Every structure is written in C-alpha cells, then in structure tokens.
A = this chain, B = another copy of it.
C-alpha cells in the first residue's frame, strides 16, 4: 500500500488545522497572492519580510556555501509554509526559498506573524510542530544525499513533489532537477530513463508524469516516508474543533 502525504489541494493544511479561534485571529492578516515559478520568498542572510502559506504549487529551500555549491534541503506545498525562522524567533534566514512550481497562497507580514505567535501559544505550538517535521525532512535529505544512488534520490524527490501537486503531471526540466539534487544535468537524464524503463514515470519535454506511485516508493528504498508519517502524526489533516 502506498504511503503518501495527503495534501488537501487548494487550501493550506497548516491553516486548515488551526483551531477556530486561531483561524479567526490570523485570517484578517492573510493576503491572497499568486506565486509564480522562481518567485523568491526569502533570501540568505536577509530578514524575512513575508511568510507564505501555499494553497497550491511547490516551494523549495536551498542551502548554499560560500564556494557556490547549492542543494535543496527542503520542499513544501499546501501542507507547509515559508518563513520558519520567524517561528524560531530569529529575523534572518540562512537559505534561499523560492517557488518551483507556480501556485497560489497567502502572505502575511513577518511582524504581524510575530505578534500572533506571541498572542497565541496554541498557534505557536502548531507551527513549531510543523518546524519539527521540516527538520526531519531535511535530515532525511542529508541521509539520502549521503547514502543513496541518484535514481533513488530522484524517486524520492518525485514522490515528495507528487504529494504536493494536484494530479500526476509535473512540469520540470532535467536542468532544474539537477540543481535540486546537486548533480549533473546529464545524470538526471540517465536516471529518468531508468525510472521510465521500469514503467514508473513517463517523461516528455519539460514534463514528468507519475505512472506507478507504489513502484516509485519501492524504487526509493525507504528513503521516502519518514517525514511524511511524522507530519501526519504531529499535524494531521483534521480540524481540531469539537
């Protein structure tokens, strides 16, 4: 049976799972925004100005070193948010966070968010618990980067992305994936052919379609699943209202 993060597409699950009181508190401050591909939500060593809760689309957190190496360390969609450093009470982010796949979301000013966190311990608690799942995700990424073959890492990435989109079609170029995974573009092409050869995906120009999700999970060799399970446990998908 396939595991999967059941993302309530078209609404943000972090907001959805807030208590009624907290939702009432935050809603007046949320502005609807279109989030286009490549839109930058925060930048390294810059103060976070806005926090974004996605309703659709996928965002990516990329770490970099002074020597210009880059790699994706986190990914989120309608289950998550940007701006976790505000939740952790530091103004700055060490990472670049930007949109990978266009979508829509809600923005809130960082200062307002800080005020709400102070005002509502339950909201703070909720978002802190989300941060924990993010840490788990990043840790599993570190594990994956250190121990898995490219094919496996690609399978994992596609699964995580698939969880966060509506349907089975993703608009992605090999070039783009190579940046996320921190490998050669040509390497991605080969890995994609492997997965395609096994009938797990279909690749077209600028597009990858998931054909066999369960097969992909198998191929990912358990490098998928840990943060997803944790998310279901610590956040869940139901409104807490009685």
Contact (Cβ within 8 A) A66 B139: no
Does A230 lie at the interface of the complex (its beta carbon under 8 Å from any beta carbon of B)?
yes
Q: Which residues of B contact A223 (CB under 8 A)?
A: 65, 67, 69
Stretch of A10-18, A126-134, A165-173 at the chain-chain interface? A126-134
Does A226 lie at the interface of the complex (its beta carbon under 8 Å from any beta carbon of B)?
yes
Q: Kindly identify which residue among B63, B71, B121, B140 contacts A63, using a CB–CB cutoff of 8 Å.
A: B140
Contact (Cβ within 8 A) B142 A71: yes
Nearest-neighbour CB distance to chain B for A55, whole angstroms, equals 25
Q: In the complex, A2→B118 CA distance in Å?
A: 39
Q: A88-B128, A94-B230, A135-B135 are in contact. Are A142 and B222 (CB under 8 A)?
A: no
Number of interface residues of A (CB under 8 A): 51
Does A19 lie at the interface of the complex (its beta carbon under 8 Å from any beta carbon of B)?
no
Contact (Cβ within 8 A) B140 A138: no
Contact (Cβ within 8 A) A132 B73: no
Contact (Cβ within 8 A) A67 B221: yes
Return the CB mask of A116-151 against B: 1 if under 8 Å, else 0.
Answer: 001001000100110110111011111101111000
Does A194 lie at the interface of the complex (its beta carbon under 8 Å from any beta carbon of B)?
no
Interface residues of A (CB under 8 A from B): 61, 63-67, 69-71, 73-74, 84-85, 87-90, 92, 94-95, 118, 121, 125, 128-129, 131-132, 134-136, 138-143, 145-148, 181-182, 221-223, 225-227, 230, 233-234
